[in-house]
């Protein structure tokens, strides 16, 4: 099976016997629902085991598995009581899900600039805080933790909630703590492109039991966390069904057990490649806020867009501004505010005095930084992130050297 050239995150490269065994374990009994009797031998509690192991890995008090990262963000916002009349500050460089989750919570996304770490710029967060601001959603983009010390101190000063979007950064640490455990809640994704994968799926974490309790209800029609049938009459919240099933849980469980191996491999490979090219004149790198990041990509930053473009075309790639759908400029459904219905549309926001507008080039600092940046894949091979060129989780040292040589040659020809 040739998986070397497939576009995906690192976890997908390790789908194998362990995942098969966990799946067969579930299929052998046919019990595919996440709930079951503790003494029932047919019930293999894969989702609960996944939650327990992820929680242990992250050092979080509570973990809840869900059908995806987008609904993890939505569930977190709902658990925190964020909704109509509230603003949430989010970077304009992210996957559209961060922004659409805020909109589906019926709150208003306020787009902020990124800095040279390619994560939200704390200075711009401060500029965008108003009386309406209820929360900040830092996104740990491309595996790199945000500047959480500054973000948390801003949040404390202004009494704001913090929902960490960790969809691209599962397992990354910031000053000794795993991302997702620093703010009020953290959301993770298990889709095809992420650090570990179950095809789709997600999880949220929090250290606050009340938030966990509310989040559980949001994801399971208001039921209480244990759900053994005795809670009829005690459902305190209107929820939906965002539950993970046992087949997804089985794969997620096998994958979470590979997370440490994936992270150490990516960090080693990234260091090897970076060391091979860092002497090249004219090459700079994006700021990394903690070396215990996920190391899924290596981003090269140039002083100017023309050089970035020339370099990118020589390696068959593009600058990150043009790379696709992670830049607000390319989110036509957001720019055009295409909600499926106008009922309760959050943009028609009378408290703002006028409707909120999203315009191309409204974040000039973000546009500038991204147009001077080119990403090389270390573990996430994804044209949509601008990282179609590079190495993957299975690359050996010869392949890493070949990529370094291509980069050196491209720089010499500029």
Ligand X SMILES: *Cc1c(COP(=O)(O)O)cnc(C)c1O
User: CB–CB of 403/387 below 8 Å?
Assistant: no
Query: Helices 397-412 and 305-314 meet at what angle, rounded to 10?
Result: 130
- Written as one string, the DSSP assignment of 33-64 is SS---TT-TT---HHHHHHHHHHHHHT-SEEE
Interaction of residue 98 with ligand X, rule CB under 6 A? yes
Rounded Cα distance, 118 and 240, in Å: 34
Interaction of residue 109 with ligand X, rule CB under 6 A? no
Interaction of residue 197 with ligand X, rule CB under 6 A? no
Smallest gap from Cβ 327 to ligand X, in A, equals 12
Smallest gap from Cβ 72 to ligand X, in A, equals 7
- With CB under 6 A as the contact rule, the residue among 189, 269, 319, 387 that binds ligand X is 189
- With CB under 6 A as the contact rule, the residue among 8, 75, 133, 191 that binds ligand X is 191
Nearest to ligand X of 98, 173 (CB atom): 98
Interaction of residue 167 with ligand X, rule CB under 6 A? yes
297: phi then psi, degrees, rounded to nearest 5:
-140, 155
- With CB under 6 A as the contact rule, the residue among 9, 10, 69, 390 that binds ligand X is 69
User: CB–CB of 369/118 below 8 Å?
Assistant: yes
Interaction of residue 48 with ligand X, rule CB under 6 A? no
Interaction of residue 91 with ligand X, rule CB under 6 A? no
- With CB under 6 A as the contact rule, the residue among 165, 184, 293, 382 that binds ligand X is 165
**Considering only 65-73, 256-264, 376-384, 402-410, which stretch makes contact with ligand X by CB under 6 A?**
65-73
Pairing relation of β-strands 87-91 and 133-136? parallel
Q: How many residues bind ligand X (CB under 6 A)?
A: 14
User: CB–CB of 73/168 below 8 Å?
Assistant: no
Smallest gap from Cβ 276 to ligand X, in A, equals 28
Closest CA to 407 of 299, 303, 321: 299
Smallest gap from Cβ 168 to ligand X, in A, equals 5
**Considering only 151-159, 160-168, 224-232, 332-340, which stretch makes contact with ligand X by CB under 6 A?**
160-168
- Locate 166 and state its tokens: 């960790």
Closest CA to 380 of 220, 141, 217, 186: 141
Rounded Cα distance, 252 and 137, in Å: 25
Smallest gap from Cβ 191 to ligand X, in A, equals 4
User: CB–CB of 52/40 below 8 Å?
Assistant: no
Interaction of residue 242 with ligand X, rule CB under 6 A? no
Rounded Cα distance, 256 and 104, in Å: 29
Q: Is 10 helix (H, G, I), strand (E, B) or coil?
A: helix
Smallest gap from Cβ 226 to ligand X, in A, equals 26
Nearest to ligand X of 92, 202 (CB atom): 202
Reported as half-sphere exposure (CB side, CA atoms, 13 A), residue 383 has a value of: 5
Q: Which residues on neighbouring strands pair with residue 55, listed in sequence order?
A: none
Interaction of residue 94 with ligand X, rule CB under 6 A? yes
Q: How many residues does the chain have?
A: 414
**Considering only 94-102, 176-184, 224-232, 401-409, which stretch makes contact with ligand X by CB under 6 A?**
94-102
Query: Helices 69-79 and 209-219 meet at what angle, rounded to 10?
Result: 120
Sole residue written with tokens 């065994």? 21
Q: Which residues on neighbouring strands pair with residue 204, listed in sequence order?
A: 64, 187
Nearest to ligand X of 191, 373 (CB atom): 191
Interaction of residue 202 with ligand X, rule CB under 6 A? yes
Sole residue written with tokens 């992420």? 194
Interaction of residue 138 with ligand X, rule CB under 6 A? no
Smallest gap from Cβ 326 to ligand X, in A, equals 8
Interaction of residue 265 with ligand X, rule CB under 6 A? no
**Considering only 163-171, 265-273, 334-342, 367-375, which stretch makes contact with ligand X by CB under 6 A?**
163-171
Tell me the residue number closest to ligand X, measured at CB: 69
**Considering only 63-71, 286-294, 296-304, 362-370, which stretch makes contact with ligand X by CB under 6 A?**
63-71
Interaction of residue 181 with ligand X, rule CB under 6 A? no
Smallest gap from Cβ 251 to ligand X, in A, equals 14
Interaction of residue 68 with ligand X, rule CB under 6 A? yes
Smallest gap from Cβ 201 to ligand X, in A, equals 7
Rounded Cα distance, 251 and 248, in Å: 5
- Locate 285 and state its tokens: 């790198």
Longest dimension (CA), the chain: 72
Task: Note the residues at the interface with ligand X (CB under 6 A).
Answer: 68-70, 94-95, 97-98, 139, 165, 167-168, 189, 191, 202
């Amino acid at each position: 099976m040739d998986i070397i050239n497939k576009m995906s995150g690192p976890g997908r490269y390790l789908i194998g016997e362990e995942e098969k065994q966990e799946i067969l374990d579930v299929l052998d009994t046919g019990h595919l629902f996440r709930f079951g009797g503790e003494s029932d031998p047919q019930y293999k509690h894969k989702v609960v085991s996944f939650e327990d192991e992820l929680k242990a890995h992250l050092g979080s008090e509570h973990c809840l598995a869900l059908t995806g990262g987008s609904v993890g963000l939505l569930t977190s916002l709902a658990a925190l009581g964020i909704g109509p009349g509230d603003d949430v500050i989010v970077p304009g460089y992210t996957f559209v899900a961060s922004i659409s989750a805020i909109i589906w919570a019926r709150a208003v996304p306020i787009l902020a600039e990124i800095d040279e770490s390619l994560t939200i710029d704390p200075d711009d967060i401060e500029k965008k805080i108003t009386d309406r601001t209820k929360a900040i959603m830092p996104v740990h983009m491309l595996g790199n933790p945000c500047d959480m010390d500054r973000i948390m101190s801003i949040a404390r000063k202004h009494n704001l909630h913090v929902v960490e979007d960790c969809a691209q950064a599962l397992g990354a640490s910031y000053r000794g703590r795993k991302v997702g455990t620093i703010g009020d809640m953290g959301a993770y994704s298990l889709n095809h492109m992420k650090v570990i994968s179950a095809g789709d799926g997600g999880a949220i974490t929090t250290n606050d039991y009340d938030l966990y309790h509310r989040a559980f209800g949001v994801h399971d029609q208001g039921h209480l966390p244990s759900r053994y049938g005795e809670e009829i009459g005690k459902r305190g919240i209107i929820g939906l069904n965002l539950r993970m099933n046992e087949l997804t849980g089985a794969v997620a469980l096998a994958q979470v057990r590979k997370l440490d191996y994936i992270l150490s491999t990516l960090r080693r490979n990234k260091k090897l490649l970076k060391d091979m090219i860092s002497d090249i004149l004219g090459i700079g790198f994006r700021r990394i806020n903690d070396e215990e990041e996920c190391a899924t990509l290596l981003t090269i930053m140039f002083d100017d867009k023309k050089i970035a473009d020339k370099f990118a075309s020589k390696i068959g790639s593009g600058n990150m501004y043009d790379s696709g759908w992670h830049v607000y400029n390319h989110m036509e459904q957001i720019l055009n505010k295409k909600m499926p219905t106008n009922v309760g549309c959050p943009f028609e926001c009378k408290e703002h005095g006028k409707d909120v507008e999203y315009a191309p080039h409204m974040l000039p600092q973000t546009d500038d930084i991204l147009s001077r940046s080119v990403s090389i894949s270390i573990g996430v091979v994804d044209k949509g992130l601008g990282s179609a060129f590079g190495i993957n989780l299975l690359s050996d040292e010869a392949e890493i050297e070949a990529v370094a040589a291509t980069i050196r040659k491209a720089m010499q020809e500029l």
